[in-house]
Amino acid sequence: MNKILNKISLGLIIITLPIVILLTCVEIATFNRSFYWNEYEKHQVMENTGIEKVELMDITEEMLDYLKGKREDLIIHGEVRGNQQLIFDERDQLHMVDVQKLFLQGFSLRNTCAIIVLLAALYLLLIKKDKKTFARGVFLSGVIALGTILLMGLIITTDFSRYFDMFHYIFFSNDLWRLDPGQSILINLVPLEFFINIAGRIAIYFFLAMGSCIALSGFYLRKINKRTKFH
């Protein structure tokens, strides 16, 4: 029975730890205000939308609050090319309802997986006193996750636009994400190049985090193996 529970705990760590880290990296990258500031400069968003940068950042703040569930809607008014108007039209708002739902589900999944990792770690470290199995779980989760993400990354970079569309087909049940740049302020705020850059940033964060997990757990396992060898 103990061996079965150990294997279950090992498996849970391997599966859930990368999910926790990946979704946390998504959150960190998505809610980094300075990233938006730099992207708006890079892609001439002020010129494309006709919105001044300071007001643009205020709108961004409201949009990010909405994604976190801190706002009930995206009915925001602002000055566009000298005229006061509704910033996000009906299609923008309907699409963002779906995006918010996806983010909130992601937060929920991340938190659930974090609890599972914590319980598995507590079982192995405090109850079973089995640091080696815990370290193996962390090491394997890192190796498998990095290998998978690296392979996916190589595939996605061959045609980011195509796979970005596939992402929408998988996670959205409508075509509201197909926005017209001539009508939608939302798509001008976050064009395709924005998503390419944020995906790259998420990948870097993930590789650094999982790489650290591999290095630390690998160092511990090597140390344990050397100690066992000498005994």
Structure confidence by residue, pLDDT tens digits, 79-137 = 999 899 999 999 999 999 999 999 999 999 999 999 999 999 999 999 989 999 999 99
Is the pTM for the entire model greater than 0.85? yes
Contacts of 213 (CB under 8 A, 6+ apart): 17, 21, 138, 139, 141, 142
The answer to whether the beta carbons of residues 191 and 23 sit under 8 Å apart is no
What confidence score (pLDDT) does residue 227 get?
67
CA dihedral 162→164→168→169, nearest 10 degrees, is 30
Tokens of 199: 């995906």
Determine the Cα–Cα distance for residues 40 and 34; give it in Å rounded to an integer: 10
The predicted-structure confidence for 132-160, as pLDDT tens digits, reads as follows 999 999 999 999 999 999 999 999 999 99
The predicted-structure confidence for 172-205, as pLDDT tens digits, reads as follows 999 999 999 999 999 999 999 999 999 999 999 9
